[in-house]
Amino acid sequence: MIPWSKLSQLSLKVGLSSLMVLALWGCTQGNSPSVPKNEASPGAGKATPKAEATTESEATPEMEATSEVSPTAAGAGAKTGWTAKEKAILKTLMLASLPTPEPDPSNAFADNPKAAALGKKLFFDERLSINGKVSCATCHKLELSFTDGLSLSHGVGVTERNAPTIIGNAYSPWMFLDGRKDSVWAQALGPLESAVEHGGSRTQYAHLLAANYKPAYEAIFGKFPDLSDAKRFPPKAGPVEDKEAKAAWDKMPAEDQETINRIFANMGKAIAAAERPVVPLTATFDTYVAAVLAGDSETMAKVYTPDQEAGLRVYIGKGKCLGCHTGPLFTNNTFHNIGVQKMIPHAGMKAMEGTPMPELAIDDGRASGVGKVLADEFNCLGKYSDAKNPEACKVKALEASKALTATMLEQFRTTTLRNIAETAPYMHDGKMQTLEEVVEHYDLGFKGNPLTPPLGLTKEEKAQLVAFMKTLSGPIAGDLTAAKEPIP
């Protein structure tokens, strides 16, 4: 991480004008907040169009909703019917407005069924760890909507962040809460080498694939390299924290390192193919909105309670939630500082039994994430990417923002609100255990930030907002939700 004292000094020098420039730039990196023209259900239709910067004269329905809503939408009182503007906003939030994800230019196998089948096996294989007990599913459990229920995730050690869900990851241009990876396949590689997550090394994984997955690998990526020479390809080698593995890696010729890197990258691409179809399916909210748009008052009354409807009105109005949590996945996939920092672990935080909570340093978030993704050998511009046109790589545009990293201090990626009731604890550090705590945090406003004053929600409105968010839970699509297949 960037030294805190240095970043604090930099942030003071940048000034508010740079903050505004960055905010405008950041809003162009996620899904467009405008009302989609494509109304196909998930998995159908055209890819999301590239977002454009929104000016005051091009304000979208969601943005206007925070300041121009019906009197009742700004509060919690009962109301019958929705205005045309409110209906337009609701339509942008329903799953029927979710297009297929854009193709990943860096992964030619993202939509390959054979790659997805291999990736599913790898996702659940605990041998892909230093102790044979940790898999991707350790921190991304189906029963918890692909999270782990812990404040700080626990692999072979304890991490410093909360594990976000993988639901809808195919729609995000940035991975991890600090955006240090620019594709799902590159993200999948990070935990495999992390000393506190899987804790393994590249040659370890390559040898595992050679022994157990060779036919499946070759059916997708071509002939598997001969790794039988243990002197050239040690059983434990990689650019990792483990000194023995690092020393063995440094002794390997560059061409042998590249052979292993190619296998390693293909592992990530297979796992990404398995994760790509993991998207939310129809929730109570979507059924309600469909009824609103159809004028079906009977279904509206059947599926939503008055409190849930009032909570939805608070969400699009007085709660100002659409500033970050917009679109069918309820996220703009960009980065924001929401005032959750300088955290001291407390009794409410959840850790694995017998594992103490670590002391956490200030987490600078996106400020260091930019540098990491630009330097990543597995990014879209790297030699292991399948991208044929560098202009198709979103990471290329980040070069221009390097001078603004001081304004990105403590910014973290906005996560989806789909199935939010099942993905506690919340925030990047898992500090908040309940949705009630989260709503209270936003209601108080963020100290020192004049752009985020207190919301002034009543006790009733807070409860209604939570009641609404619970209606965003629903089934999840994707083969990773099916029965786990035997590991070869």
What integer pLDDT is reported at residue 110 of this predicted model? Answer: 96
Rg (CA), the chain: 23
The two three-digit tokens of residue 175, written as one number: 């991975």
- Residue 400, burial from CB neighbour count under 10 angstroms (0-12, 13-18, 19+): exposed
Per the CB < 8 A criterion, the answer to whether 374 and 395 are in contact is: yes
What integer pLDDT is reported at residue 367 of this predicted model? Answer: 82
Give 234's contacts (C-beta < 8 A, 6+ positions apart).
203, 248, 252
DSSP string, 146-204: SB-S-SS-BSSSB-SS-----TTGGG-SSBSTT--BSSHHHHHHHHHH-TTTT---HHH
The Cα angle at residue 33 between residues 454 and 341, in degrees rounded to 5: 40
Residue 203 lies in a domain: yes
> Buried (b) or exposed (e) across 176-193, using 16+ Cβ within 10 A?
bbbbbbbbbbbbbbbbbb
Task: Determine phi and psi for 215, rounding to 5 degrees.
Answer: -60, -45
The strand pairing partners of 181, in sequence order, are 175
The two three-digit tokens of residue 430, written as one number: 């898992």
> Buried (b) or exposed (e) across 331-354, using 16+ Cβ within 10 A?
bbbbbbbbbbbebebeeebbbeee
Q: How far apart are CA 196 and CA 212, in angstroms?
A: 25
Residues 254, 227, 188, 185: is their CA dihedral positive or negative?
positive
The Cα angle at residue 322 between residues 321 and 325, in degrees rounded to 5: 85
Question: Using one digit for the tens of pLDDT, what is the confidence trace for 296-320?
Answer: 999 999 999 999 999 999 999 999 9
Q: How far apart are CA 319 and CA 327, in angstroms?
A: 16
What integer pLDDT is reported at residue 448 of this predicted model? Answer: 56
Per the CB < 8 A criterion, the answer to whether 338 and 366 are in contact is: no
Domain hosting 26: range is 1-60+97-279+322-454
**399: amino acid identity, one letter:** E
The two three-digit tokens of residue 31, written as one number: 């899904």
Residue 465 lies in a domain: no
Q: Where are the beta strands (DSSP E) in 205-336?
A: 335-336
What integer pLDDT is reported at residue 479 of this predicted model? Answer: 82
Which residue is listed with tokens 């221009």? 400
Give 89's contacts (C-beta < 8 A, 6+ positions apart).
61, 62, 65, 316, 322
DSSP secondary structure letter of residue 364: -
Which residue is listed with tokens 């595992």? 208
Q: How far apart are CA 65 and CA 34, in angstroms?
A: 12
What integer pLDDT is reported at residue 102 of this predicted model? Answer: 92
Residue 460 lies in a domain: no
Residue 461 lies in a domain: no
Among 164, 237, 239, smallest CA distance to 194 is for: 239
Domains in the chain, number? 1
The CATH number covering residue 13 comes to 1.10.760.10
> Which regions in the chain score pLDDT beneath 50?
1-78, 342-348
Per the CB < 8 A criterion, the answer to whether 268 and 185 are in contact is: yes
Residue 267 lies in a domain: yes
Give 35's contacts (C-beta < 8 A, 6+ positions apart).
60, 61, 88, 91, 92, 97
Residue 118 lies in a domain: yes
Q: What is the dihedral of CA 73, 77, 81, 87, to 10 degrees?
A: 20
DSSP secondary structure letter of residue 425: S
- Residue 10, burial from CB neighbour count under 10 angstroms (0-12, 13-18, 19+): middle
Residue 79 lies in a domain: no
Residue 301 lies in a domain: no
